[in-house]
Structure 1
Amino acid sequence: MIQDHVLFIDGEAIVIDKPAGLPVDRPRDGSISLENHLANLTFGFQRWPTAVHRLDRDTSGCLLLARNPKAHARFQQAFEAGSVTKRYIAVIDGVPDEEAGLIDLPLIKVSSAEAGWRMTGDPKGKSARTRWRVLASREGRAFVAFYPETGRTHQIRVHAAEGLGIPITGDPVYGAAHGRPLMLHAAQLTVPRPGKPDVHAEAPTPQRFKAMGFGGGAEPDNG
């Protein structure tokens, strides 16, 4: 039940722990998406909540929904202004030489008839910056916290693959899936609200991370 995934709720906002595999936008084939669950997230309101931002289909974790149009507009402005704090966790297919850093790699969308579309680093692209920090490593892989300062499509996935030179485990587009699920999770979201408490939520580490030996203990901090 999607109601069981609610991490935060008040009169303006709901944050859910979006399951991996659930697309936010309705797919072209008409298969199940977040839209099919919105009627179960009204909690006494007549209006359905609406997603303020996007997570990739196979990325799990914190997703902000607005409960009315005015709140939606304010939250979108917070995202556009860069005042929203986000923390993601990921497992990557290697161990970086450094313990932490900043990836500053503009991104642009490219497409071809054979491979479809994808994002890639390009000086002519839109500005994209991601801070990162290694939390742990084992068996040739690293458990990494990513703190995106911008919100470009596939930003963390491309910054891992092209910025660090090490793709996220299970990424079928920018790495090699190897039959594994995408090991990317939106672990924390904080949205400031002038004159009101922040919208703040933390999504627990998914079982797929624990199965690889990562994230079974204390949650990583804010860096």
Structure 2
Amino acid sequence: MLTGATMTRDQPHRVLNIRDRAAGRRADTFLSLRFPSTSRSTFAKWIKEGMVQSDDRTLKPSSVLRLGETLRIWSPGLAPTDGPPPTPPILFEDEWLLAIDKPAGMLVHPVGQRYAWALIGLVRELRPDARIDLSHRLDRDTSGVVLLTKHEDANRAMKAAFQSRKVSKTYHAVVRGVVPWEERAVEAPLGHKMGSEVQLRRGEDPEGDSALTHMKVLSRMAAHTLVECRPFTGRTHQIRAHLEIAGFPILGDKLYGQPDNVFLELLDHGLTDRVRALIGFPRHALHAQSLAFPHPKSGQMVKVRAPLPADMQAIVDGAVPTWAAEAAVEDEVDTIEEEAE
């Protein structure tokens, strides 16, 4: 039920679906915990003004949130300032699953305090009658196949398939340098990169988590190579770290293949000329090319593919990688929060 005098669903707003961890909390308490830069009293004021509403009832600051309830937020800074981007292409869909070709630069789920359109919200708006959830994640900069589920049974089954390594993942990466070998396996346990000032940076660590990636050259260019990567384990930043260990880091990677001071300069001072020159491309050139998985209902194997995006295909076709001076870089603080989850 909409109660605000001026707020309508046609205006850009943020949608929050109440899940298990939020159900049973007061509305103003939950929102202040979800967005800690905004106080409980401010949320109470916004609720009273109709800037935060429930689809099911007239919301009060003291309202106890219900499982499955949908909240809509028009509050400044927490809501979008413009309409949603187009929903990315659908690669596969049935009554259980939906696979999307995620573009680089799009989050799979919201992070941070500032609003950014995320894939999960776009698909939930597209399929409002389904309980849409992610079965896995991709980094903001990584393009390609993202598999979502349409109800709880499907989500449980797919997460179990990922955890038991029944899902086969294939990535394509444009790396710096001309790779001399045709195929190789990198088996290097991963932990925090020794000596690195960046907490999230992974590197070879004898005491780290076992990790194995198979690599195969697909195409060589003048100064870059297109490499197929198949991870047999699912460690954080595995492909990016293993390609750095192999001596051929991904083009455009802000964290790997660079000294720490490049990433730290980006965080502290933004996109300086030096940072742009060293990174060389607006995003890391990594693409989730395919997923092969047992269908949660039939058990039959399904393979979903996403074509190489235009920015990477241009390099394969011979274009020199460029990063226009006016190109923006996403908020790296939000990117860190996303990758840490």
Q: TM-score interval w.r.t. the shorter chain?
A: 0.7 to 0.9
Whether the aligned pair in 2 keeps the contact of 1:94 and 1:142 (CA below 8 Å) is yes
Partner in structure 2 of residue 219 of structure 1: none
Aligned amino acid, residue 289 of structure 2: A
Whether the aligned pair in 2 keeps the contact of 1:101 and 1:131 (CA below 8 Å) is yes
- The question of 1:106 aligning with 2:208 is answered no
1:25 to 109, 123, 139: 109
Aligned amino acid, residue 134 of structure 1: V
Partner in structure 2 of residue 14 of structure 1: 98
Partner in structure 2 of residue 166 of structure 1: 248
Q: Which has the higher helix share?
A: 2
Q: 2:230 and 2:293 mapped to 1: Cα distance?
A: 14
Partner in structure 1 of residue 291 of structure 2: 189
Q: Which has the higher strand share?
A: 1
Change (3 A) 1:184 1:156: same
Change (3 A) 1:55 1:214: farther
Quote how far apart the aligned CAs of 1:203 are: 0.5
Report the TM-score, using the length of structure 1 for normalisation: 0.86
Judge which range, 88-97 or 165-174, deviates more: 88-97
Whether the aligned pair in 1 keeps the contact of 2:176 and 2:250 (CA below 8 Å) is yes
Partner in structure 2 of residue 92 of structure 1: 175
Q: 1:68 and 1:112 mapped to 2: Cα distance?
A: 44
Partner in structure 2 of residue 177 of structure 1: 279
Task: Calculate percent identity across the aligned residue pairs.
Answer: 36
Where structure 2 has 5 or more consecutive residues not aligned to the other structure, the ranges are: 1-84, 258-277, 320-341
The structure, 1 or 2, with the larger RCO (C-alpha pairs under 8 Å, 6+ apart) is 1
- Structure whose CA Rg is larger: 2
Change (3 A) 1:59 1:98: same
**How many aligned positions are there?**
213
Quote how far apart the aligned CAs of 1:137 are: 0.6
2:148 to 65, 75, 83: 65
Q: 1:14 and 1:103 mapped to 2: Cα distance?
A: 32
Partner in structure 2 of residue 203 of structure 1: 306
Matches within 5 A, 1:150-161: 150-161=233-244
Partner in structure 2 of residue 34 of structure 1: 119
Whether the aligned pair in 2 keeps the contact of 1:111 and 1:118 (CA below 8 Å) is no
Whether the aligned pair in 2 keeps the contact of 1:89 and 1:144 (CA below 8 Å) is yes
Q: 1:179 and 1:35 mapped to 2: Cα distance?
A: 26
Task: Give the alignment's Cα RMSD to 1 decimal.
Answer: 2.4
Whether the aligned pair in 2 keeps the contact of 1:111 and 1:117 (CA below 8 Å) is no
